[in-house]
Amino acid sequence: AAKQSQASVTDKQSTTNDTSKAVDAKKEAAMAKDGKDKKDAEKELWELRDELKKKIAKEKLKPTDLYPGVENMIWAKNSNELIFQYRGDLYRLRMDANGFERLTKTDKTERIISYSANDSGYLYMDDKRIYQADFNKGSLKQLNPELIHADDVEKKYSIANTVLSEDKQWMAISATAGPSDPSKAPTGRQVEIMNYSERFATAKKVGREVSDDKRNVPASALYIRRVSDDTMRQPKPVFTNDGGDVWFEMSRVSFSKDGRRYTFASWEREKDLLRIYVGETADEAKPKLVFERRGNVGHEVVDVVNPQFTPDSKQLIAVLDEQGYRQPYRIALENGEATAILKGDFEAHQILGFTPDSQSMFVLANRDDFAAMNIFKVELTSGTMTAFGKAGDFHRTSGVSEDGKFIASVAGQWSSPPELKVIATTSSNKTTASKTLTNSHDPAWNAVHLLQPERFSYTNRHGDKIQAYVFKPSNWSSSDNRPAIVYTYGGPLGDRHIIETDSFQATAYQFSMYMAAKHGYVTVAVDPRGHSNYGRKFSDANWEQVGKPQTEDLEDLVAYMDGKLGVDRKRVGLTGWSFGGFQTQYTMYTKPDLFAAGIAGAGPTEWENYNSWYSGRTIGKVDRSKPVLRRYSLLPLTVGLKKPLMLVHGMQDPNVLYQDTVNVYRALLENGKESLVDLFLDPDGEHGMGGAVKAKAWHKKYETFFLQHLGRVR
């Protein structure tokens, strides 16, 4: 009892002390707060604003603050487990275990390659090195030791990238040569981009290679090595290129499934020379040239050609543009003859995989609809195509299982936005013919998705079919006399265009839908000649006549809209972004009475200052001794402007430089167009803006401009 009584007294004293400490802490916090408030009260409003600005900048969300998702995963060959990548590290997930095991924790980004042959370990790589790890032994081995070491220092080649054969017995090492003293390496052109967010403007420099820059391509070499070769001996290269002031590209090396052969493609732009090589891995001899083409082979070359062997290692397949469309061809190894596998005028330049028996392959193709990309199984002997996706779906990020029985693909269209789907390819799996695995879109979208566009096409003056879509307001009639807006891009770019059935692009789709639903406008998006994925005739139309074929097609579109879509021909506006910003300006300057108003976003107005990898492929032939692409500058054309034009640009754009808009604006002022031209700038924005101007404000500005100059529905 005495002990309990004493304990009770002690507890009360302790509670009293704790309470006293808590009261003291609160007083101290209150005093500190009062002190801070007093201190803040002594500051002027501008000081508080500056501090708030710094606080907002410091706490601004960065990409690394957001959940990035799992980047990649590889299944084991026999075990029921996988390894996945997350935030640059590797994790192992076994289905019979609780949780997952972290395999790496470094400051480098690791990428999983595959499990080892018996699933006892795995292979992974960082930026250039490939490592083999063992689960049980804890051992780690680098498979591709650096090519430079003391005995071979004069050769000066260092690893750029490495590809392993499927059987993990061979590796192809691509290497480049640099100066013996890296500090003396020549630097390319640097341009300054101004930052106006501080008290005084500051400049940052970014690299930029333009059409008249001398090139300094490093000498390169290709090595074929056995993975089991533990010596530090530097082998002889099987292929080399001297580099220099040239445009040389080489595709990634691809091995046959049995590891006995390898293949790759090279492209020399100045020579218009495409080549495909095949080599034997066990032979140190140089690879054999099996295919060669000179002339126009398309603006996207080695990454599209992508030569590869069928699983039986007997047939070589490559994507070529032999008949005006990019499609798979069979290359005869004995004489280099290219035989078309498919028949028809459509694009099919992505090979997804093959069946194990090498009788069929899977491709993405727009055979049935230029605005969609479906998955087809193709019989290699006959070219017979079997479609698996839903009609109208656009498939992206697609893959085929190793046994060829299932396809996984992200696919969708305007009526059903893209989701990840699994599709069975054999009749025995018809119970799961197509299954949607994800439900990733906010249901609130349905409340604002008020209209869906209608597809249409028209024939231009040259007999080409031009694809487009239109948003019509709810009470539309073909006899109406409504204002209208046209959105265009117009330039070649890989496989992208505007009329894609799964694209909800902010301006072409969402803003157009809004203007139709709220203001009764007729709004159209169009793919004129110049776009990719319609065949070479379209993608090459832009060459050395930049903007002209697109303007002809826009002129034919306005005539079609006048007769078919119930619009007032005198109240049609035009807008576009990037190449579409160029195209909007070109049309407004050269056909000044065609459109009543235009908004040009981030358009390259001086092609001689744009990136040479694009301009030299799609604009015109370059001369590295002088800026000959200046002949396509918009500045001399500005004298033709007759209708209101708003120029939009992010002032920190590293892609299309803000100076392009400044210079064309100056030319417009010098030509007395000050009453016709407006500027709308984002001081912190880049090529897609994203600075002070948010998407809603951006398009509210568009809305105000078009309502002002095109008027309302009468």
pLDDT at 98: 86
- Indicate the residue among 409, 441, 473 that finishes a domain: 441
* Same domain as 599, residue 563: yes
* Type of residue numbered 37: D
Residue 691: DSSP 8-state: S
What range does the domain containing 417 cover?
355-441
For the chain, the farthest-separated pair of C-alpha atoms sits apart, in whole angstroms, at 109
pLDDT tens, residue by residue, 92-147 = 999 988 889 999 999 999 999 999 888 999 999 998 899 999 998 888 999 988 77
CATH number reported for the structural domain that contains residue 562 in this entry: 3.40.50.1820
Per the prediction, the chain carries an average pLDDT of 91
Looking at residue 22, its amino acid is A
Tell me the one-letter amino acid at 677: V
Residues 374 and 417 both lie in one domain: yes
Last residue of a domain, one of 423, 441, 459: 441
DSSP structure class, residue 689: B
Q: Using the 8-state DSSP alphabet, how is residue 94 labeled?
A: E
SS3 303: helix
Q: What is the reported pTM?
A: 0.90
Start-to-end C-alpha separation, the chain: 97
Residue 312 lies in a domain: no
Judge if 455 and 545 occupy the same domain. yes
Strands 273-280 and 288-294, bridge-based pairing? antiparallel
Highest mean pLDDT among 8-17, 126-135, 139-148, 652-661: 652-661
Q: What is the mean pLDDT of residues 626-634?
A: 96
Same domain for 460 and 583?
yes
What whole-number percentage of the chain has pLDDT above 90?
77
Do 398 and 489 have their domain in common? no
- Examine the pLDDT at 181 and tell me if it is beyond 90: no
How many CB atoms lie under 10 A from the CB of residue 143?
21
Mean pLDDT, residues 682-710 taken together:
96
CB-based contact 165:117 (threshold 8 Å): no
Nearest to 89 by CA among 76, 101, 72, 103: 103
Task: Please report which confidence band the pLDDT of residue 257 belongs to, taking 50, 70 and 90 as the band edges.
Answer: very high
Identify the pLDDT of residue 418: 97
Asked if the structure places residue 618 within a domain, the reply is: yes
Please check whether residues 409 and 383 belong to one and the same domain.
Answer: yes
204 pLDDT higher than 60: yes
Confidence band, pLDDT 50/70/90 cuts, at residue 559: very high
Q: Is 13 exposed, middle or buried (0-12, 13-18, 19+ CB in 10 A)?
A: exposed
Looking at the fold, whether 517 and 502 belong to one and the same domain comes out as yes
pLDDT in tens, 376-390: 999 999 999 999 989
Number of domains observed in the structure of the chain? 4
Within-domain flag for 304? no
Query: Distance (Å, rounded) from C-alpha 147 to C-alpha 157?
Result: 6
Considering the domain architecture, whether residues 631 and 697 belong to the same structural domain is answered as: yes
Q: Is residue 287 part of a domain?
A: no
Regarding whether 433 and 373 lie in a shared domain, the answer is: yes
CATH of the domain at 115: 2.40.10
Q: Given 376, 410, 441, which residue is the final one in a domain?
A: 441
